[in-house]
């Protein structure tokens, strides 16, 4: 204890980490290392040994948490998707709070698809799942959960339109296919202006499917019509 003019300057001793905390830390290290390894060397070369070395843990620790490579990869995919949803959720909240619209959300989403770990790691996973039935079976429910959460976020931007839930879901899937396709193309074509032009064209097409509630005109007692020609 150090005392200066009657002031207690006791230096607090950090409490030792619990077993649960150490276990959670090891698990996180393995998941982060798995994603980084997928991005750096690809799925085929992302061996358990390479992941363990990057994580700085023992092989025994890896086996304790994940008994197989596919189990580790699946857990890393879930971790990756969860982090991506958190980012998109944060983006949606920022756009709404700043008075932004779907256009702002699309631009932000495009950045998240084109850059960062999500795109490159998920690309490796999707490619690997094509020829690995076991991995595909494990990834499918995670992909469904990812899309369900994206659906909920996406729907927030259509609450002032006459679009039906089914139409909104279709527009989301079309947009995701577009963004995913452009993201894949960036591997061989590094041309930002090209992708911006495509996105601008898509936003124009997207708006043609929608009509604001305040723009709906009722005539002769008929039900409002959507600009796309879809009834109700």
Condensed to tens digits (0 to 9), the pLDDT of residues 36-79 reads 999 999 999 999 999 999 999 999 989 989 999 999 999 999 99
Round to whole Å and give the CA distance between 89 and 123: 21
pLDDT at 231: 44
Please check whether residue 216 is in contact with residue 201, taking contact to mean a CB–CB distance below 8 angstroms: no
Per the domain annotation, does 26 fall within a domain? no
With CA atoms as reference, report the closest residue to 11 among 3, 21, 1, 20. 1
Q: End-to-end CA distance of the chain: give it in Å, rounded.
A: 76
For residue 208, pLDDT over 60 is answered with: yes
Domain assignment of residue 154, yes or no: yes
Integer Cα distance of 124 and 198 in angstroms: 25
Write out the residue range of the structural domain in which residue 154 sits. 69-211
In a domain, 118, yes or no: yes
Q: How much is the pLDDT for 5? A: 60
Residue 106's contacts (CB-CB under 8 Å, 6 or more residues apart) are: 175, 199, 202, 203
Beta carbons of 75 and 135 less than 8 angstroms apart: no
Nearest-angstrom CA–CA distance, 117 and 84:
9
- The reported pTM is 0.76
- For residue 12, the model assigns a pLDDT of 60
The more confidently predicted of residues 111 and 200 is 200
Give the Cα separation of 167 and 210 in Å (integer): 9
Q: What is the CATH number of the domain that holds 141?
A: 1.10.357.10
Number of residues in the chain: 232
Listed range (6-10, 136-140, 153-157, 228-232) with the worst mean pLDDT: 228-232
Residue 2 lies in a domain: no
Residue 229 placed within a domain? no
Q: 2 burial class (0-12, 13-18, 19+ CB within 10 angstroms)?
A: exposed
Decide if 197 is inside a domain.
yes
Structural domain contains residue 130: yes
Q: What is the pLDDT of residues 158-182, one digit of tens each?
A: 776 677 778 888 888 888 888 888 8
Query: Is residue 54 one of the residues assigned to a domain?
Result: no
How many structural domains are present in the chain?
1
**Predicted confidence (pLDDT) per residue in 182-203, tens digit:** 888 888 888 989 988 998 898 8
């Amino acid at each position: 204890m150090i005392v200066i003019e009657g002031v207690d300057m006791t230096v607090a001793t950090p409490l030792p980490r619990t077993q649960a905390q150490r276990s959670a830390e090891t698990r996180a290290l393995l998941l982060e290392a798995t994603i980084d390894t997928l991005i750096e060397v690809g799925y085929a070369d992302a061996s358990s040994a390479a992941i363990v070395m990057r994580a700085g843990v023992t092989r025994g620790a890896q086996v304790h948490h994940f008994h197989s490579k596919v189990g580790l990869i699946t857990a890393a995919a879930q971790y990756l998707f969860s982090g991506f949803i958190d980012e998109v959720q944060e983006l949606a909240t920022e756009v709404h709070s700043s008075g932004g619209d779907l256009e702002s959300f699309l631009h932000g989403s495009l950045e998240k698809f084109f850059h960062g770990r999500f795109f490159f790691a998920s690309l490796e996973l999707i490619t690997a799942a094509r020829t690995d039935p076991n991995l595909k079976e494990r990834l499918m429910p995670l992909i469904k959960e990812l899309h369900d959460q994206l659906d909920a976020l996406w729907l927030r931007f259509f609450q002032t339109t006459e679009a039906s839930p089914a139409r909104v879901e279709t527009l989301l899937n079309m947009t995701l296919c577009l963004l995913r396709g452009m993201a894949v193309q960036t591997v061989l074509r590094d041309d930002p202006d090209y992708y911006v032009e495509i996105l601008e064209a898509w936003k124009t097409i997207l708006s043609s499917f929608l009509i604001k509630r305040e723009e709906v005109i009722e005539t002769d007692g008929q039900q409002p019509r959507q600009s796309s020609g879809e009834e109700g």
